[in-house]
Amino acid sequence: MGKLTMGVFPGLVGSLSLDFSVKLAEAAVKKGHKVDFWVSSNATMLSKKGQRAFKDYSTLYKTLEELFKTGNFKACACEACAEARGYHKEDTMEGWIRKSMDWYLASCFDADRVLLIGGE
């Protein structure tokens, strides 16, 4: 099985690009692949704990919680992007790591595929 590294930049609410990214990661993990999921820019919002589910908005944290349990999914938020937006370490959902951009490039190093989902 392979390793997919995803760089994801769109915000949580406002477009469905982040939903697509999480769905794709979920599909890859279900097929037995490993996924490294890097969020930068507005996508760091995804790492924030305390999200609530409303029917009119995307609810992705539940899927992430299930993905973390598989052991084949790593998610990392750009620390600078998060801090710039006021998301601090104590605001981060369990399972996430926070690093700088070199974490993403290191993941690209041995990835079988790299997919960048650009932001707005």
Partner 1 sequence: MATTRLAFVVRSLPYKTEASRLAMTHAIASQTVEIYLEDGDMVEPVVCFIGDGVLNCLKNQAAGKHYDVTSLEMHIKNSLLLDLKVMICKEDLDRLGIKEDALIMHAEDLGGETRAQIVPYSEIKKELDSVNHIQIF
* Spatial contact of 50 and 72, defined as CB atoms under 8 Å apart: no
Q: How many positions of this chain bind partner 1 (CB under 8 A)?
A: 22
* 54-93 residues near partner 1, rule: CB under 8 A: none
- Which among 98, 95, 120 has a CA at the least distance from the CA of 38? 98
Closer of 54 and 109 to partner 1 (Cβ): 109
Closer of 53 and 118 to partner 1 (Cβ): 118
105 binds partner 1 (CB under 8 A): yes
Closer of 93 and 114 to partner 1 (Cβ): 114
Question: In one letter, which amino acid is 52?
Answer: R
Of all helices (H) and strands (E), which one includes residue 85?
none
- Minimum distance of partner 1 from residue 97's CB (angstroms): 12
- Minimum distance of partner 1 from residue 44's CB (angstroms): 12
List Cβ neighbours of 34 (8 Å cut-off, separation of 6 or more). 1, 2, 3, 4, 72, 73, 74
Can you count the helices (H) and strands (E) in the chain? Answer: 4, 5
Binding residues (CB under 8 A) for partner 1: these are 7, 9, 40-42, 100-106, 108-111, 113-114, 116, 118-120
